[in-house]
A and B are shown apart, each in its own frame.
Chain A
Amino acid sequence: AIQLTQSPSSLSASVGDRVTITCRASQGISSALAWYQQKPGKAPKLLIYDASSLESGVPSRFSGSGSGTDFTLTISSLQPEDFATYYCQQFNSYLSYTFGQGTKLEIK
């Protein structure tokens, strides 16, 4: 099974900061990667699909990049509502999906 490793596992940042989260796949997955945001007590929300495509309604401060094994999620200027846990997910391996372990973004 394809493993996804996110780094860092947790991150403290301030409003207005630029933040980058990394997701590394154990083997190449082309661009079959998504990013989700989850707030406490809520369901995950799709932010980015196909590694770099912004889901409709998601603010443009969120962006994704990468292909193959290395991917990044960048938030250009953190807003108070962005403090949450972020997960990457691969869907390259048909009907054998995996998520990264998550990155908790906290207020500094």
Chain B
Amino acid sequence: AQKVTQAQTEISVVEKEDVTLDCVYETRDTTYYLFWYKQPPSGELVFLIRRNSFDEQNEISGRYSWNFQKSTSSFNFTITASQVVDSAVYFCALRAITGANNLFFGTGTRLTVIP
């Protein structure tokens, strides 16, 4: 069974602060894929990043960075120098290569950046 846990329900930070969103996953599969999505107040899902289970390299994209650690089954997301436009709900998701190939989502973390 696949499971994704985002223990942080809501986080508030002041603009320009750094913030890390935690994601812990469970799977018995050896091959799987991890994703982060952003859901702004308008409701659509915005794809941010994907990672496969064989690639543990951390990634940086502008103010965003991701830390994937198989040893702790974690795929954490850091926003550096947060901005008001970063305010959204962020979802971590896991996809296995078997079965429906669907995404298993965490419950999301609502990030509020205070100006």
Indicate, yes or no, whether A interacts with B. no
Residues of A within 8 A of B (CB): none
Residues of B within 8 A of A (CB): none
